[in-house]
Amino acid sequence: MSVQIPAASPGEMAVPSAAAADSIALHGVDIAYEREGQEPLLVVENCSLSVGREEFVAIVGPSGCGKSTVLRAISGLLRPTRGKVLIHGNEVVGHPAGVGFMFQRDTLLPWCSVEENIAIGLELSGNPQKDPQATIRDLVQLLGLNGFEKSYPSALSGGMRQRVSLGRLLAYHPDVMLMDEPFGALDSLTKAVLGRELLRIWEAERRSIVFVTHDIEEAVYLADRVVVFSPRPGRIVAQHRIDIPRPREARAIRSDPRFTHICEQIWDDLKLPTH
Amino acid sequence: MALENTDIAARKGRVPMVAQRIILISVLLTIWELGSSLTEGEFWVSRPLLIVERLITMIQSGELLRHLTATLVEAGSGLLLAGLVGIPLGIALERFPRVAKLVEPIIMGLYGLPRVALAPLFILWVGIGLASKVLMSFSMVIFVFLMNVSEGVRSIDKDMLDLMSTMRASRSFVTRRVVLPAIVPWILTAIRIGVGLALIGAVVAELIGSNQGLGWFIEKSAGRLDTTGVFTGLIVLMAVAMLANFMIVSAERRLLRWRGNSR
**Looking at CA atoms only, how far is residue B255 from chain A in angstroms?**
9
Contact call for residues B134 and B81 (beta carbons, < 8 A):
yes
Sign of the CA dihedral with A194 first, then A196, A199, and A201 last: negative
Q: What per-residue confidence (pLDDT) applies to A43? A: 93
**Looking at CA atoms only, how far is residue B24 from chain A in angstroms?**
37
Domain annotation covers residue A121: no
A251 band by pLDDT with thresholds 50, 70 and 90: confident
Q: What per-residue confidence (pLDDT) applies to B12? A: 66
Q: Report which DSSP code applies to A95.
A: S
Contact call for residues B45 and B227 (beta carbons, < 8 A):
yes
Please give the tally of structural domains in chain A.
Answer: 1
In a mutational test of the B interface, the residue from A93, A117, A124, A169 whose CB has the highest number of chain B CBs within 10 Å is A124
> Helices marked H in B113-226 — which ranges?
119-126, 130-154, 158-166, 171-174, 180-208, 214-223
Contact A111 B181 (CB under 8 A): yes
Domain of A224, in residue numbers = 1-94+207-243+259-275
Contact B258 A112 (CB under 8 A): yes
Domain annotation covers residue A70: yes
| Nearest-Cα residue of chain B relative to residue A106 | B160
**CATH number, domain with residue A7:** 3.40.50.300
The number of CA neighbours under 13 Å toward the Cβ of B124 is 5
**Looking at CA atoms only, how far is residue A180 from chain B in angstroms?**
11
Chain B residues touching residue A97 (CB < 8 angstroms): 168
Distance CA A267, CA B154 (A): 41
Domain annotation covers residue A186: no
Q: What per-residue confidence (pLDDT) applies to B225? A: 94
Domain annotation covers residue A142: no
Bond from prior residue into A247 cis (ω within 30 degrees of 0): yes
Q: Measured between CB atoms, which of A72, A100, A153 is closest to B167?
A: A100
Residue-level pLDDT, tens digit, chain B, 263 residues = 445 555 665 566 678 899 999 999 999 999 999 999 898 888 889 999 999 999 999 999 999 999 999 999 999 999 999 999 999 999 999 889 899 999 999 999 999 998 888 888 898 999 888 999 999 999 999 999 999 999 999 999 999 999 999 999 999 999 999 999 999 999 999 999 999 999 999 999 998 888 899 999 999 999 999 999 999 999 999 999 999 999 999 999 999 989 876 44
Domain annotation covers residue A168: no
Beta partners for A60? Answer: A213, A228
Q: What per-residue confidence (pLDDT) applies to A36? A: 86
The A residues from 4 to 63 touching B (CB cutoff 8 Å) are: none
- Does A267 reach chain B within 8 Å, measured CB to CB? no
Report which of A117, A156, A17, A67 is spatially closest to residue B181, judged by C-alpha positions.
A117
A133 band by pLDDT with thresholds 50, 70 and 90: very high
Q: Is A237 exposed, middle or buried (0-12, 13-18, 19+ CB in 10 A)?
A: buried
Q: What is the ipTM of this complex?
A: 0.85
- Does A155 reach chain B within 8 Å, measured CB to CB? yes
Phi/psi for A97 (5° steps) reads: -75, 155
Distance CA A108, CA A92 (A): 26
Domain annotation covers residue A169: no
Domain annotation covers residue A183: no
**Looking at CA atoms only, how far is residue A150 from chain B in angstroms?**
11
| Nearest-Cα residue of chain A relative to residue B263 | A154
Domain annotation covers residue A117: no
Total beta-carbon pairs less than 8 A apart between chain A and chain B: 59
